[in-house]
């Protein structure tokens, strides 16, 4: 068992959370009523995840997408009120790490994507505020073959915007809603860019930049970091860790 504040302090230091100017607070967002022995991880602190974690006996819930985003109304009413009431009734703590869990060199979403997609020599770049990574496929693949590899790895087929028929070798990627970094990714000289989402203009940019674009799903590309962090915490503190995947096709 570990106190919530101690667990959060360890995560803060491990992920360098205080180094990020983020859209939400990183760390312990809600302190629960008991020390932590059973940890549940998930992507988003939705009502469905809170209820499933409570049913699983979680002492703490660790997510990538937490609460209290910049620009949101601060009042805990309606949907937000229901989420908060469910969490408080369970007595569990809520911890959330957003950009620190995208960027981390070992546990982060982008590093974990490289492992899952068998991308060699993965490294962060200066693009996308340092969040865009690049690397090399183990062997050159056609765009369709790479799309199939992504589909098998993530359990959902990506939307591909092709820019030609050449084989793909050099890849850039950034998990989540990072389609806006496509021009910076193209400037790295890669053959393809993969992210989670697509916007209307992304199609035109990919075609005009001559770079294949793969929208693999915001949720699908951000399931990995919380699992890796949860496993790390379980090993360090002797916790019982379970990842709960609340289905989300977006």
Q: Looking at the structure, tell me whether residues 213 and 141 fall in a common domain.
A: yes
Please state the domain count of the chain: 2
Q: Is residue 228 part of a domain?
A: no
Q: Across residues 53-64, what is the average pLDDT?
A: 98
For 215-242, the pLDDT digits (tens) are 999 999 999 999 999 999 999 999 999 9
Does 93 reside within a domain?
A: yes
Residues 93, 119, single domain; the answer is no
- Position 107 scores a pLDDT of 98
Q: What are phi and psi of 101, to 5 degrees?
A: -90, -10
Q: What is the rounded CA–CA span in Å between residue 225 and residue 71?
A: 25
Q: Sorting pLDDT into bands at 50, 70 and 90, what band is 140?
A: very high
Q: How confident is the model at residue 165 (pLDDT cuts 50, 70, 90)?
A: confident
The distance from CA 199 to its chain's CA centroid, rounded to whole angstroms, is 19
Look up the pTM and report it: 0.95
Residues 157 and 109 in one domain: yes
Q: Are residues 199 and 179 in contact, defined by beta-carbon separation less than 8 angstroms?
A: yes
Claim to verify: residue 130 and residue 197 sit in the same structural domain = yes
Among 220, 186, 221, residue whose Cα is nearest residue 204: 186
Q: Are residues 84 and 154 in the same domain?
A: no
> 46 with 152, same domain?
no
Instruction: Looking at the structure, tell me whether residues 92 and 110 fall in a common domain.
Output: no
Please indicate, yes or no, whether residues 115 and 154 belong to a single structural domain of this protein. Answer: yes
9 and 44 both lie in a single domain: yes
Each residue's pLDDT tens digit, 12-52 = 999 999 999 999 999 999 999 999 999 999 999 999 999 99
Confidence of residue 164 (pLDDT cuts 50, 70, 90): confident
Do residue 63 and residue 138 come from a single domain? no
In a domain, 243, yes or no: no
- Please say which residue of 98, 127, 156 terminates a domain: 98
**66 & 168 share domain:** no
Confidence at residue 214, expressed as pLDDT on a 0 to 100 scale: 98
Query: Tell me, what CATH number does 93's domain have?
Result: 3.40.1390.30
> Which domain covers residue 94, as residue numbers?
4-98
The single-letter DSSP state of residue 91 is: T
Task: Examine the domain organization and report whether 17 and 125 are in the same domain.
Answer: no
For residue 183, the surrounding DSSP H or E stretch is helix 182-186
Q: Kindly state whether residue 235 falls inside one of the protein's structural domains.
A: no
Average pLDDT over residues 145-161: 97
């Amino acid at each position: 068992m570990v106190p919530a504040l101690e667990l959060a302090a360890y995560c803060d230091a491990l992920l360098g959370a205080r180094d990020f100017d983020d859209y939400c607070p990183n760390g312990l967002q809600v302190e629960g009523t008991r020390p932590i022995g059973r940890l549940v991880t998930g992507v988003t602190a939705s009502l469905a995840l809170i209820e499933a974690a409570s049913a699983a006996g979680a002492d703490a819930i660790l997510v990538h997408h937490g609460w209290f985003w910049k620009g949101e109304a601060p009042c805990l009413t309606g949907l937000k009120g229901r989420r908060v009431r469910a969490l408080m009734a369970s007595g569990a703590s809520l911890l959330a790490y957003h950009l620190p869990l995208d960027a981390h060199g070992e546990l982060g979403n982008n590093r974990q994507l490289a492992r899952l997609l068998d991308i060699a020599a993965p490294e962060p770049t200066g693009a996308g505020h340092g969040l865009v990574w690049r690397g090399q496929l183990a062997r050159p693949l056609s765009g369709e073959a790479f799309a199939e590899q992504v589909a098998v790895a993530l359990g959902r087929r990506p939307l591909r915007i092709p820019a030609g028929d050449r084989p793909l070798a050099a890849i850039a990627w950034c998990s989540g809603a990072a389609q806006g970094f496509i021009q910076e990714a193209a400037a790295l000289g890669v053959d393809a860019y993969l992210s989670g989402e697509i916007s209307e203009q992304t199609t035109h940019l990919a075609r005009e930049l001559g770079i294949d674009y793969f929208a693999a799903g915001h949720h699908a590309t951000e399931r990995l970091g919380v699992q890796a962090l949860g496993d790390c915490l379980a090993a360090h503190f002797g916790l019982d860790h379970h990842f709960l995947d609340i289905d989300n096709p977006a």
